Amino acid sequence: MNLVLLLVGLQPWAGSTPSALTRVFVAISVLSLEMQVVTWSHVGTMRTLPLVNGAWAILMLLFWRPKGAADEQPSVSLRQAAPWPAVLLLGAVVLVLNVGLPVEAADPYHLERIAHIEQTGTLEYGLTADSKVNVLGWLYEMLLADLRQLPLVGPLVFRLHGLLGLVLLLVGLGALRSQLRAGSPWPWAVVLVVPTLFHQLVLVKNDLFVTVPGLVVLMWVVMRSATASWSDIVWAFWLIGLTVATKLSSFPLAIVAMAALVVHHRPVWRPLGAAVLGSVLGVLAGGMLFTLAENTRWYGDALQPLAELGNRNGGPIEAATSIGRFAISLVDFGVITRRWWPGRGGWGGTFGLPFIWSVFVLGSLARRVPEARHALWLVAVYFIAFAAVYPDADLAHRMALAPGLLLICLAAHFVATTESVSVWCRRALVPVTILSGAQILRSAVLYWARP
């Protein structure tokens, strides 16, 4: 309810898909800050905030008249973000599964957290619950709890969480295609059939939610960070701070973005100041400082509850093993590492054929196209940092979805706009898309057939 009102109030800012992405996350940031305030002040709840946000929306619609265009980039409409036949096919599959199956979370604590936020109307900790309910972020769950408060349609909107995720993905793809100066949308169908992406549209999980801003920022690092203005850097690091605060496994995003600033900008102090400012805004909006303060208040230590959750490599040998497993998993379709290292947790599938195809495309262009070369190095650094920390990285490509999608999106872009792409890479795109689509249909049937 509150999110919808905030988005309505930002409607005068409407324009291109990059501004649409920014509007969405500005609204999310404002709601997050409001919920932190009402939790700490004990004044109001999620159910009383619509009075404030409704009044704000009316004032914005009546009196806000933004000057000039919202973006300097050429706009790509939501309809052009990806080929619509592919969008409609994927949307139909997701709709059937969302409506026909019970709402299920990948991890139980997601639904527990949503229920607790609905019950209390705040972000108050529930100390009788699993500690994951308290300390593993709350932004995504807060948004779903808020949308479920919509009059009449709230429960239906909550059930259609997968379609909401698909719309958010299309907003992100539209922002990317605006950065890349568009081109034909048809090669971008391959982005919609990435196996691990599909699971985020079926189960309640926050991976896709943090992937979209992370993907847009990674594309910005590759294509625009070298010439970015001060305000662009603040914008990018606001999204980075928000993403990392929501899901700590996104920390390599900050590493690669900061490294790009240091390499490209001289003197470096001014862009670093912008990065710090943006990061602080994002961390506040993502609730990291709120969570650390609440951890200290209720558990006596800001980090101890997180440390007790485990799921971290304990030394260089474990880190090296994890990196090796993850490298194998990028090409083994989720088979080899599960057999060679059984008995571990993790779910969600791999990047599959689209990722393997994208590496071949970008590798063939790396000498002639600097952006292809930079993207491959950036993703390699991201993957190594991610796998060095998480022992189940090979089973959880969903936690590094943004860098994987970055390569696939860039490869689709170059196929659509660059004549020097090998004819074999172009021809391979068709069977890759068809076979990966068939894999998604198989997953959909397996979801439906479960007891």
Q: Where are the alpha helices (DSSP H) in 330-400?
A: 336-340, 352-365, 370-389
Q: What are phi and psi of 436, to 5 degrees?
A: -70, -35
Contacts of 19 (CB under 8 A, 6+ apart): 13, 70, 71
Secondary structure class of 204 (helix, strand, coil): strand
110-157 residue pLDDT tens: 899 999 999 999 999 877 666 777 777 789 999 999 999 999 899 999
**What confidence category does residue 49 fall into, taking pLDDT thresholds of 50, 70 and 90?**
very high
**Which pLDDT band, with edges at 50, 70 and 90, does 70 fall under?**
very low
In this predicted structure, what is the pLDDT of residue 18?
63
How high is the mean pLDDT of the chain? 89
Q: Which of 353, 14, 432, 16 is nearest to 187 (CA)?
A: 432
Domain coordinates in residue numbering, the chain? 2-60+84-449
Structure confidence by residue, pLDDT tens digits, 320-377: 999 999 999 999 988 898 888 887 766 778 999 999 999 999 999 999 999 999 999 9
Which is higher by pLDDT, 179 or 445?
445
How far, in Å, CA of 31 to CA of 282, rounded?
13
Mean pLDDT of 195-224: 94
Contact 239, 25 (CB under 8 A): yes
**Sign of the dihedral defined by the CA atoms of residues 52, 53, 59, 62, in that order:** negative
pLDDT digits (tens, 9 = 90+) for 278-294: 999 999 999 999 999 98
- Contact indicator for 357, 428 with CB cutoff of 8 Å: yes
Whether the per-residue pLDDT at 14 is higher than 80: the answer is no
Classify 297 as helix, strand or coil: helix
| CA-based nearest residue to 407, from 105, 194, 257, 165 | 194
For 406-427, b/e burial (b = at least 16 CB within 10 A) is bbbbbbbbbbbeeeebeeebee
Q: Is the pLDDT of residue 74 over 70?
A: no
Q: How confident is the model at residue 71 (pLDDT cuts 50, 70, 90)?
A: very low
Average pLDDT on 416-428 reads 89
Q: How far is CA 420 from CA 188, 219, 376, 416, in A?
A: 18, 21, 18, 11
**Percent share of the chain, pLDDT over 90:** 66
Question: Is 184 within 8 Å of 418 (Cβ atoms)?
Answer: no
Q: With a cut of 90, say whether residue 64 has pLDDT above it.
A: no
Q: What is the pLDDT of residue 31?
A: 96
Q: Is residue 267 scored above 90 in pLDDT?
A: no
pLDDT-derived band at 17 (thresholds 50, 70, 90) equals low
Give the pLDDT confidence score for residue 98 in this predicted structure: 96
pLDDT average, residue stretch 35-40: 95
